[in-house]
Amino acid sequence: MDEAPLTRESLSIGLSLRDTSLHMRTAASLGEAKAMLAAGAPPAVVLCNVVSLTPPNSNVLATLRDAAGTFGSTPMVVLVDGEEADLPLEASRLGVRGCLPTSVGLAVAQEALRLVAGGGTFFPSPFLHRLAQHREAAEDDPPAPSGGAALTARQRGVLQRLREGKSNRVIAQELGISENTAKVHVRGILRALGASNRAEAVRKAWQSAGPADPQTLSRGWGRDRD
């Protein structure tokens, strides 16, 4: 399932040529895929390019949720561009069975689809590493109280240290967590505050609540700090 004819047809033809026993069906939209499902038996596995299916200025994660809901229990694999860092994480939460990077070749794609169709899962090691980081961060940090602040208690602790211009390494040492976990918390803060970098996150937090020490806002913001 892919809105772009070139990649949709290239994948379909390429995979069919590699294995003539495969029966490929293609759809250019979720609506077209739903019509196919209503007209016949569900496929053994679905390969979905959710980035292509997402309209301009729309949320790709919302498209992913719609696609997962459309196919229900049918195993689904999503094509993932390296720029979509949150896509594998949300896919895992939704029960998607695999993430296929656009950087792999047809041989890997074929084996991944066979694995998922047979009941397995396919998540390349960089995605598994990212999932492990987020699980570690979730275990380190209890959820934010309902109806309360947008940030969790741990994120507020990290934000205070961002205000002081501290690097991820120093934040991790002070909080007794790994540096990777500190990075995950920083990304969570950026998302929660709608900020694109650390300096903007500190500025938005200051505008809404005021900094603990106004002098710290001018420290160390020439670039994002590792």
pLDDT confidence of residue 176:
83
Average pLDDT of the residues of the chain: 80
pLDDT confidence of residue 120:
92
**Domains present along the chain, CATH in parentheses:** 5-123 (3.40.50.2300), 132-218 (1.10.10.10)
Does this model's pTM top 0.75? My answer is no
pLDDT confidence of residue 45:
92
Closest CA to 48 of 22, 66, 36, 23: 66
9-14: long-range contacts, CB 8 A cutoff, minimum separation 24: 11/47, 11/106, 11/109, 14/106
pLDDT confidence of residue 205:
82
Contact 2, 8 (CB under 8 A): yes
Query: If you average pLDDT over residues 166-178, what whole number do you get?
Result: 86
pLDDT confidence of residue 94:
84
The owner of tokens 């029966």 is 23
Contact 154, 194 (CB under 8 A): no
What's the pLDDT tens digit per position in 201-216? 888 888 776 444 444 4
pLDDT-derived band of residue 137, with 50, 70 and 90 as boundaries? low
pLDDT confidence of residue 149:
47
Specify the pairing of strand 76-80 against strand 46-48. parallel
pLDDT confidence of residue 204:
84
Q: What interhelical angle do 5-18 and 106-117 show, nearest 10?
A: 80
In the predicted structure, residue 67 carries a pLDDT above the cut 70: yes
pLDDT confidence of residue 222:
42
Query: If you average pLDDT over residues 177-193, what whole number do you get?
Result: 83
In the predicted structure, residue 188 carries a pLDDT above the cut 80: yes
Share of the chain above pLDDT 70, in %: 80
Q: Which residue has the higher pLDDT, 211 or 96?
A: 96
Query: If you average pLDDT over residues 113-133, what whole number do you get?
Result: 81
pLDDT-derived band of residue 142, with 50, 70 and 90 as boundaries? low
